[in-house]
Amino acid sequence: MSDKSDRRDFLVKLGLGAGVVGVGLQGVASLRSLVPNVSYDPPTTVKLGPPGDFPDGLKFLPDERLFVFREGKTFYAISAVCTHLGCTVRAEALPQPETAEVNGRPVRLTHRYLCPCHGSRYRGDGQNVSGPAPRPLAWYRLTVAPDDGQLVVDLADEVDRDFRLTVA
């Protein structure tokens, strides 16, 4: 084979190689463009305010659709989102507090919940008792923000119904 033909072969291969690399890089760039640099999902952790702003008993937070309960230094949070089709349930105070056993531990119940859409009813700890709701109301993890001491709920972190946050 002549030097000229070797050189032509080399240049053809070089050209093909560059073309393949170029197409590959373009493919990677195209795929990368499908992944946004910024997330527009709402954050799942929300600051709710200083613990001292919560009265003993129940406080409803409409923006988070959340019931926050306080018993002295102890806090827990129950979702107000009906597990049937997502309407906001209403809390009704019980005429007399009741005690229910949740995970082997007695829990004092002061309210029950009623869904205005299709009539599902829930016990004070969120247990569904009647209507089309397929499961209990969610409980979410509460923590204290390390920077300013506010209560923080993580709406992506469901916890058992015996969860309690104790604030010093």
**Residue ranges binding ligand FES (CB under 6 A):** 82, 84-85, 87, 115, 117-120, 131-133
- For the chain, state the CA radius of gyration: 28
> Closest Cα partner for 164 from 113, 112, 114, 105?
105
Minimum CB distance to ligand FES, residue 24 (Å):
50
Query: 139: closest CA among 75, 84, 88?
Result: 75
Assess contact for 123 and 102: CB atoms under 8 A: no
Cα four-point dihedral sign 39, 76, 48, 123: positive
Nearer to ligand FES, 80 or 151 (CB): 80
We find the least distance from the C-beta atom of residue 136 to ligand FES, in angstroms, to be 13
- 75 or 120, CB closer to ligand FES? 120
Give the residue with the Cβ less far from ligand FES, 58 or 117: 117
Taking the complex as a whole, the smallest distance from the CB of residue 81 to ligand FES amounts, in Å, to 9
